[in-house]
Amino acid sequence: MYMTADTDHVVQATRGDPRVTPVGRFIRRTSIDELPQLVNVLRGHMSLIGPRPHALSHDIYFGGQIDRYSDRFAARPGLSGLAQVRGARGETPEVADMERRIALDLIYIHHASLGMDVRIIAETVQEMLVSRTAY
């Protein structure tokens, strides 16, 4: 992720982004790029399920735009989460898109349970197999 000279705008990868190579596109579609995060789960730095970590530039930008944004830091970041399986994965071109993601993160934090984690894991596997949002 890059921030433009205009600090009010966070540049994210988009569908058809010219910065993404064919190899990079394959890596994203197959979620191979998530393997290093699995190491973080095994080391105890991340959970399997929880709010997905954002780029630091997003934390700075959206933290100033969205009430309760920092509440998501109350939980260990996860490899997958409720937001990802409820369609809030991918780019967030509008602040409202990130607000939806944060709302889902907070729902997860306040209602987390083993049953919810199992459902999210199952839905994550399904999303990986038929994803239309990875690019």
Q: Is the per-residue pLDDT at 134 higher than 60?
A: no
**Residue 79 domain flag:** yes
**Residue 99 domain flag:** yes
**Residue 49 domain flag:** yes
pLDDT band at 127 (very low <50, low <70, confident <90, very high): confident
**Residue 103 domain flag:** yes
Q: Is the per-residue pLDDT at 131 higher than 70?
A: no
Query: In 3D, which of 104, 105, 45, 118 has the Cα closest to residue 76?
Result: 45
**Residue 135 domain flag:** no
Distances (CA, A) of 124 to 65, 90, 95, 99, 121: 28, 14, 24, 21, 5
Which residues partner with 2 through β-bridges?
11
Number of structural domains (the chain) is: 1
**Residue 97 domain flag:** yes
Which residues partner with 11 through β-bridges?
2
Position with higher pLDDT, 13 vs 134: 13
Question: What is the average pLDDT value for the chain, to the nearest integer?
Answer: 86
> At which residue do the structure tokens 């038929």 appear?
130
Q: Please state, as a whole number, how many other Cβ atoms lie within 10 Å of the Cβ of residue 51.
A: 25
Range of the domain at 120: 2-130
Q: Tell me what the mean pLDDT of segment 110-135 comes to.
A: 85
**Residue 69 domain flag:** yes
